[in-house]
Amino acid sequence: MKVWMKVSQGIKPIPNKEKNMTNKSITELKDIHKGEDIWVIGAGPSMNFVDPSFFENKICISVNQMYEKFPCEYVVGRDIHSKERWAPTIEDLRDRDDIKFLYSEFDIGYGQTRNTDWGWMCSSDNFYEFESLQDHNLDNVGTDKMISIRTTLNTCLNIAAYMGAKNIMICGKDEGTIDGKLYVDDYTKKSWSDSEAWTEIKRWLAKTEHTTKKTKDKLIEVYGCNVHSLNPFINYKLEGHEYRPTTKDNKLK
């Protein structure tokens, strides 16, 4: 999401009521799942064909609000400036002992505003902050800083490798529609000003393919992990369902 969207939305930072707010650091989670499998759950429409029970007893990272639909041990967020989207989520997560919330120090990962400066961020024993600082900087891979390249899913992949995963499984990274749907059912909300409500979303999704491939290759090079994706169908014919990829001219093929 572009920084200029915040201006167009009329959203401005609110001084936080919790002075000297501090949460834990992501460094406490380094290698916490050494040699294990981690599933990164995105919001693409292919997730309509995966039963939530499939992820039981698996280590799962939710890209943004996907924890509302599938059981996840971790939730990752970067674009905290959207009050309508994130204030309810943060309020929900602050007292969830079963979920750890990982968020970037700065808005969108490399913005000018600290995410703790938004009036709806709070302190919590299960909140962890990470640094990224520079857009599209793959040099962060292998350090205590996480990458911030377009989609939050790329950051989730980096976090999974940082946690020590041997196998990272990508779910719901579809970059197109299935049967006319761009997202898994009932994921986006009417109050949100981004995601499906954003007029440039198809163009943005199309551009994430290249960056996720670069992220995957770098993680394999640095961490020696495997990165694959979940296909809920028996093959790439999708059992008769229609897939249409997004394009960089903001359309569907």
CB atoms within 10 A of CB 98: 9
The dihedrals phi and psi of 171, each to the nearest 5 degrees, come to: -125, 135
The CATH architecture to which 4-245 belongs is Alpha-Beta Complex (3.90)
Mark 207-225 as b/e (b = at least 16 C-beta within 10 Å). bbbebbeebbebbeeebeb
Q: pLDDT 10s digit of each residue in the chain, 253 long?
A: 333 333 334 344 444 444 446 899 999 999 999 999 999 999 999 999 999 999 999 999 999 999 999 999 999 999 999 999 999 999 999 999 999 999 999 998 988 899 999 999 999 999 999 999 777 889 999 999 999 998 999 999 999 999 999 999 999 999 999 999 999 999 999 999 999 889 999 999 999 999 999 999 999 999 999 999 999 999 999 999 999 999 999 999 9
Q: Give the distance, in angstroms, between the CA of residue 87 and the centroid of all CA atoms in the same chain.
A: 16
């976090």: which residue's tokens? 159
- What is the structure's pLDDT at 3? 33
Domain ranges of the chain: 4-245
- pLDDT for position 52: 98
Q: Measured between alpha carbons, how far is 23 from 174 in angstroms, rounded to an integer?
A: 33
d(CA 41, CA 72): 9
User: 26 near 129, Cβ under 8 Å?
Assistant: yes
Instruction: Return all residues near 41 (Cβ < 8 A) that are at least 6 apart.
Output: 47, 55, 60, 61, 62, 63, 66, 70, 72, 171, 172
Q: Cβ-count burial of 165 within 10 angstroms (0-12 exposed, 13-18 middle, 19+ buried)?
A: buried
